[in-house]
Structure 1
Amino acid sequence: MAGETENNVWPMPKFRFTVDWGTIAQNIAFQEVSGLEAETQIIEYRASNSAQFSTIKMPGIAKYGNVTMKRGIFVKDNSFWNWYNQIKMNTIKRQTVTIKLLDESGKPTMVWTLTNAWPTKITGTDLKSDGNEVAVDTIEIAHEGLTIANS
C-alpha cells in the first residue's frame, strides 16, 4: 500500500522532545535543538622508510560541536541569563544536559547527554513593532562529550 514501509516500522518524528538542564531546570520546552554532532580529527602519518608515497590516516582527538537551543520567552523566566551570568574567569557552572526524543506515548526513545555543558552565547529576540511572531531567545552551549542511548 502506498505510504507504508516494510513491517510498518516508521522513522521517529522529531517534533516531540524534552530537555533537562541538570540541577538548573527539568523538562524545559524548547522550540528547536540543533548541533548534536561529533567529529574525530584525522592524524596523517608517514614513516620515513615507507614504500608508499602517501600517508596513513589515523583517528585523533574527538571534537564536539556547540548545541544551539531556541525557546519562547516567558514572563519572569531568566534561566538562560542566570546560567550565563554564572560564568566567571575559570569558574564555570557546568551541567549535564539531557535531550530526549519522545515517542507517541511520551516515553523517551533516544537520549543525547551532553557532559560538562556551559553557555557560550545568548541571543535575545529581535523586536518588531509590526511583527506577530513569538519572542524567542537562543542559547549556544559548549560541552565536552556527547553520548547517545536508546531507551
Structure 2
Amino acid sequence: MLDKGYPPVGFYFSLSFEAIRTTADAAFQEVSGLSVERETETIGEGGQNLYKYQVPAVAKYSNLVLKRGLLIEGSALAAWVRTTIGSDLSEPIVPKQVFLSLLNEQGGPLAFWSFEQAWPVKWSVSDFKADDSAIVIETLELTYTRFQQQRVSK
C-alpha cells in the first residue's frame, strides 16, 4: 500500500477525451508537458529610471504531448486530429476537454487534471529505419487554454 507521505509512481495513469470513449484512443504510453509559467512584464520606474520591476502577466501553459504505439485502424481520436489539423479553417475547430488521472496501486485516482479547450496542433510519427526493430511511435501535441489539478480525497 502506498504510504501517505511517499511520492507516487508516474507509470500508472489514465487518459480520456471528452466524447471519445474507445479504450484504444486513450492508450498512451507517455504524457508530458504538464507545466504552467507565469509570464512577467518589465516596467521601468518613472522619473529616476534606475530600477526596473517585473510585474505578473498572463499564465503560459506548455503543450500537452502524448505518445503511443502507432494505431493503424481508424478511430474517433484519429478522425478528430485529421479534421482539426487538416482543416482549411472554413469551419470552427472543435476543442475537447482532456482528463488525466494519476492512479494508485488499486487503479483508483490519486490526482486528477482536466485540460480545458484542448485541440491538436501537431501529429508526428517516429522515423522508419531498416536497421532498427523499434515500435513505431505516434506523437500527438495538444494546446489548451488552461489545466486544473485536483487531489482526490481518500
Question: TM-score, with normalisation over the residues of structure 2?
Answer: 0.82
Letter in 2 for 1:136: I
Pairing partner for 2:42 from 41, 44, 57: 44
For structure 2, the 5+ residue unaligned runs are none
Pairing partner for 1:19 from 15, 18, 22: 15
Per-residue CA shift, 1:37-86, capped at 9, x if unaligned?
1111102223424x672122211011111111001123414445311222
RMSD: 2.1
Find the residue that maps to 1:25 and give its secondary structure.
coil
Q: Report the CA distance between 1:8 and its aligned residue.
A: 7.2
Distance 1:8 1:19 in 2: 24
Distance 1:35 1:58 in 2: 25
- Aligned: 1:99 with 2:100: yes
Does the Cα contact within 8 Å between 1:99 and 1:112 map onto a contact in 2? yes
Does the Cα contact within 8 Å between 1:80 and 1:139 map onto a contact in 2? no
- Aligned: 1:58 with 2:55: yes
129-138 vs 71-80, which moves further = 71-80
Distance 1:111 1:57 in 2: 32
Letter in 1 for 2:94: K
Misfit runs of 4+, over 3 Å = 77-81
**Where does residue 3 of structure 1 map in the other structure?**
none
Question: TM-score, with normalisation over the residues of structure 1?
Answer: 0.84
Distance 1:17-1:8 versus aligned 2 partners, 3 A rule: closer
